[in-house]
A and B are shown apart, each in its own frame.
Chain A
């Protein structure tokens, strides 16, 4: 035993702490969550060790299917808007003069140095009925009555796009920056207008970046609950809110666990797709 330990000392010292950390804080809790999904909730918010598939069956109730539908729809909208806004942004960033690039990327990352909760609260101050934007519009005389901007689906979408835009821009930026500039010259040389250089060369060649950006935006957007809580006034229920409520308010841990597992499975499938496209890109 002692000799075995000595022989593999390097492995224990380097990998050991990580394995220990992941084991204690990831694997065991995850196993616990999976176990929870097949237990029965009892009247006092706890769980009884009675095997059941009830929690999974409940997922297919209409109101929960609607939650899934709404969540996916919101995430899709967020992703598409992020792409449309982020692509030109990434393009300008990637083609900026070298001495500016670092600075511009830093500007993009800057908001991340502040807690996202606080940043979202910032939007509240802006959009409230008595908020800065309404005051301004009334002051200028554009509107008489304050606009209902906060606590709408639009506000949630805005918050999501705001929070996730960098996740879209960074993969796009990497992908556009990698683009061989002589390909664009070749396209132009062969008679392609600027629009055609984009549609026939730049766009298809940055497809991996578009895909990576989409997935990196879509996955976190499914789980975000505080934005819809703070900016949507919990009017529409999304997966994130539902899970949070099951654990904290409804005290139905087994069902909350089942919902979490669904979210994890969706994420894993998307991640698998993502790595698949990544390896395709390396081949080209």
Chain B
């Protein structure tokens, strides 16, 4: 296993989990560094919450290892792990007031009464619930409840705080505000946060690193900049932000570039490491897709402007390719618009495209690898 920088506080190795014969998490490998804000991002049902629940101890992996601070936690119950969870539905104890809810974990640890009082008060101040100690959960708004949920977890000074879509049930404005507060809290306390969400914007704004999951597979782990600007798979490119994805194959391999042929045209891309005839996806963000009346060197890709959509500060231009595919280009609102119906040349600046092998190619590589691992004859499957 490769060494990574930073002290690893959690390590998941080849973790598998199924529910009723349905594989929810497949061969997951993940290292979480001490003190970082890691977000697990993916659509619902991708296995991110299950992964979090395995770290918390609510579920046991079918196979694979979970290490907390270097120790295997297989078989350890949630109360024997130095992690705490913030639940999406808050899960506050309805028969206890705010103070008793927050004090729950400390009472379990048999902390002295005076210390409980000061530590709970400290937490109440931290999450800005001053004066609400005696409130019952049923008398509080969603945002306030989640503050109690966060305080109740943090008061135990866990090594890692697990947050399972904690802001999912709040309205947009409150969610934005709480995002800021959570990030601030994490910085201040230096506790490792593992945050589960399906909201890519939330992930991009809050995280130190993002782990993108899909169908139980970890697609990519990286900083927000990395996953946004250099997505490694088509799914990541598609799921995070908007993308134009063009399918093509490598027709020419030059010394410092490749010539990709698509259904609707050709493009020369300064990338190496691809073989002739290889199927690839080209991924261009709308803000990087340019249109022009004159042609640009290395590009022979044309389309027809179909529509302009005005969204505040920017204009979105929809361009139809000869094969019917729609591309999106974003330009500042003050720029002059190309009239609808004009046939234009499409290009992008060097470095503004991400080339990735198509899924078929990737799947083939994975199968090839697993076949080798299991020591079976390397017979062609396709």
Contact = CB atoms under 8 A, between A and B. Distances in A.
Interface string A200-212: 1100110000000
A185 interface: yes
Contacts, number: 64
A191 interface: yes
A193 interface: yes
B105 A190 contact: yes
Contacts of A188: 57-58, 77-79
Interface stretch (B89-97, B169-177, B264-272): B89-97
Interface string A168-191: 000000000000101101111111
B335 interface: no
A207 to B, nearest CB: 8
Interface residues of A, number: 19
Interface string B54-87: 0011100000000000000000011100011101
Contact of B79 (A182, A189, A283, A284): A189
A119 interface: no
A262 B91 CA distance: 46
Interface in A239-284: 283-284
A186 B94 contact: no
Nearest to A192: B108
Contact of A190 (B94, B138, B152): B152
Contacts of B79: 188-193
A155 B83 CA distance: 53
B193 to A, nearest CB: 15
A284 B138 contact: yes
A191 B85 contact: no
Contacts of B77: 188
20 contacts: A180-B89, A182-B87, A185-B85, A186-B85, A186-B87, A186-B91, A186-B92, A186-B152, A187-B104, A188-B58, A188-B77, A188-B79, A189-B56, A189-B57, A189-B58, A189-B85, A190-B84, A190-B152, A190-B153, A201-B93
Interface of A: 180, 182-183, 185-193, 196, 200-201, 204-205, 283-284
Given A189-B78, A189-B83, 7 more contacts: A185-B91, A186-B91, A188-B79, A190-B104, A190-B108, A190-B152, A205-B95
